[in-house]
Amino acid sequence: MARLAQTAGLTDVQQEILSTVRDFVDKEIIPVATELEHRDEYPQAIVDGLKELGLFGLMIPEEYGGLGESLLTYALCVEEIARGWMSVSGIINTHFIVAYMLKQHGTQEQKDHFLPRMAAGDIRGAFSMSEPGLGSDVSAITSKAVKDGDEYVLNGQKMWLTNGGTSSLVAVLVRSDEGHPEGTAPHKSMTTFLVEKEPGFGEVRPGLTIPGKIDKMGYKGVDTTELIMDGLRVPADRVLGGVTGRGFYQMMDGVEVGRVNVAARGCGVAQRAFELGVQYAQQRHTFGKAIAQHQAIQFKLAEMATKVEAAHAMMVNAARKKDSGERNDLEAGMAKYLASEYCKEVVEDAFRIHGGYGFSKEYEIERLYREAPMLLIGEGTAEIQKMIIGRRLLEEYRFQG
């Protein structure tokens, strides 16, 4: 039925995975998403279903019990899931970034310790860079780790942790001056710590508090929290990769694949908005005909569908580039920027097509309207994407004259 957002050249295995996920989304997510979202309820049954499908281990190598799939397969699954409910894609996104960082940068002991249980969904990951005073400007991080024997003592406050409460492993980026003399560039004195904790709220480990859920306008169901470190002691072997001072690069690598994921979410939400708009436009009649027969509405549908197609193509291109082993910061930045902006526009057009009913909580588009703005901010705002894109273009097209 869906003609839009097709992907050429998929293997049989990829097609089978996607069709299973789409089926799951249609049967288990879409029918309950809006109700759960209005109650801000964690979708436990859906998460259990995703676990059973093996989605928490989709990109984790087979030797660690995962499915060893590509970033493209993962992004296409995320697109399907976000089409059902964006919050569910948020539940797997931070997990996926942490697993990816472990796979790319972890010591052998860290991989052996975490990845098999992450693949099974028994350990779930969150990642934490932002603080109350900073989000875009990661180099301004103030949280600190100080070495004390075989341990580090961490102090500081973190902000906006997606899955902060439900996760049991948080990759936390802090400043660690040890071995990095004064005057070292800020990004060279940052370290990622793998912090294990109990899921839940309050003091979840001595020196580590997750105060509670932040009340958000959308993206409900999934928990977003602060994290307070007050004399938190972390063993030295929980420094990601075993060496301090590499945290900034490790996190940026994780965020780069996270950006493809956010682009995929934008594609999924925009697709759902288009589906809702095109269906409603054929049911609602004004001036003696279905509103879909008014040219102004047809033009809206045409613009929406074109944006859905374009965003999907850019997202697929960015994922394939990373899968080929090439640097994809330019493509991921462009895909994230375009897909999130188009998503907001397509959702707004679908909202307008619904007339007054779009404003009613009984209609799914109301939820999408509150969800789309999150994609403009998460994994770097539009301005930050444009900075990355602009810098990279100037590198590529250096004036030779």
Ligand X SMILES: Cc1cc2nc3c(=O)[nH]c(=O)nc-3n(C[C@H](O)[C@H](O)[C@H](O)COP(=O)(O)OP(=O)(O)OC[C@H]3O[C@@H](n4cnc5c(N)ncnc54)[C@H](O)[C@@H]3O)c2cc1C
Active site residues: 379
Q: CB of 287: closest distance to ligand X in angstroms?
A: 41
Using CA atoms, how far apart are residues 237 and 233, in angstroms rounded to an integer?
12
Using CA atoms, how far apart are residues 350 and 61, in angstroms rounded to an integer?
40
Determine, following the binding rule CB under 6 A, whether residue 189 of this chain makes contact with ligand X: no
Using CA atoms, how far apart are residues 103 and 91, in angstroms rounded to an integer?
19
Amino acid at 53: L
Q: Which of residues 75-114 bind ligand X (CB under 6 A)?
A: 94
Q: CB of 129: closest distance to ligand X in angstroms?
A: 4
Determine, following the binding rule CB under 6 A, whether residue 380 of this chain makes contact with ligand X: yes
Which of 98, 209, 214, 101 has its CA nearest to residue 156?
A: 209
Cβ nearer to ligand X, comparing 41 with 112: 41
Determine, following the binding rule CB under 6 A, whether residue 136 of this chain makes contact with ligand X: yes
Q: Which of residues 146-165 bind ligand X (CB under 6 A)?
A: 160-162
Determine, following the binding rule CB under 6 A, whether residue 373 of this chain makes contact with ligand X: no
Question: Backbone phi, then psi, for 162, in 5-degree steps?
Answer: -70, 130
Which of 25, 223, 35 has its CA nearest to residue 124?
A: 223
Strands 224-235 and 151-162: antiparallel
Eight-class DSSP state of 28:
I
DSSP string, 96-118: HHHHHHHHHH--HHHHHHHHHHH
Q: Which of residues 24-83 bind ligand X (CB under 6 A)?
A: none
Cβ nearer to ligand X, comparing 73 with 128: 128
Asked if residue 29 lies in contact with residue 84, where contact means CB atoms within 8 angstroms, the answer is yes
Determine, following the binding rule CB under 6 A, whether residue 383 of this chain makes contact with ligand X: yes
Tokens (6 digits) for 361: 């909580």
Quote the crossing angle between the two packed helices 247-283 and 71-84, to the nearest 10°.
40
Asked if residue 93 lies in contact with residue 258, where contact means CB atoms within 8 angstroms, the answer is yes
Q: Which of residues 220-239 bind ligand X (CB under 6 A)?
A: 224
CB neighbourhood size of 35 (10 A):
9
Cβ nearer to ligand X, comparing 140 with 185: 140
Q: CB of 210: closest distance to ligand X in angstroms?
A: 13
Determine, following the binding rule CB under 6 A, whether residue 335 of this chain makes contact with ligand X: no
Residue-wise burial string across 83-110, b where 16 or more C-beta atoms lie within 10 A, e elsewhere: bbbbbbbbbbbbbbbbbbbbbebbbeeb
Q: CB of 353: closest distance to ligand X in angstroms?
A: 27
Cβ nearer to ligand X, comparing 105 with 158: 158
Per-residue binding string, ligand X, 285-324, x by CB under 6 A, is ----------------------------------------
Q: Which helix (H) or strand (E) holds 351?
A: helix 329-353
Using CB under 6 A as the binding criterion, the count of chain residues that bind ligand X stands at 22
Determine, following the binding rule CB under 6 A, whether residue 244 of this chain makes contact with ligand X: no
Which stretch in 68-76, 284-292, 320-328, 371-379 sits in contact with ligand X by CB under 6 A?
371-379
Which stretch in 20-28, 52-60, 123-131, 344-352 sits in contact with ligand X by CB under 6 A?
123-131
Q: Which of 103, 187, 381, 392 binds ligand X (CB under 6 A)?
A: 381
Cβ nearer to ligand X, comparing 98 with 305: 98
Which stretch in 49-57, 203-211, 258-266, 378-386 sits in contact with ligand X by CB under 6 A?
378-386
Using CA atoms, how far apart are residues 58 and 112, in angstroms rounded to an integer?
17
Q: Which of 34, 73, 87, 130 binds ligand X (CB under 6 A)?
A: 130
Residue nearest to ligand X (CB): 135
CB neighbourhood size of 233 (10 A):
16
Asked if residue 192 lies in contact with residue 173, where contact means CB atoms within 8 angstroms, the answer is yes
Cβ nearer to ligand X, comparing 52 with 137: 137
Residue ranges in contact with ligand X by CB under 6 A: 94, 127-130, 134-137, 160-162, 216, 219, 224, 374, 377-378, 380-381, 383-384
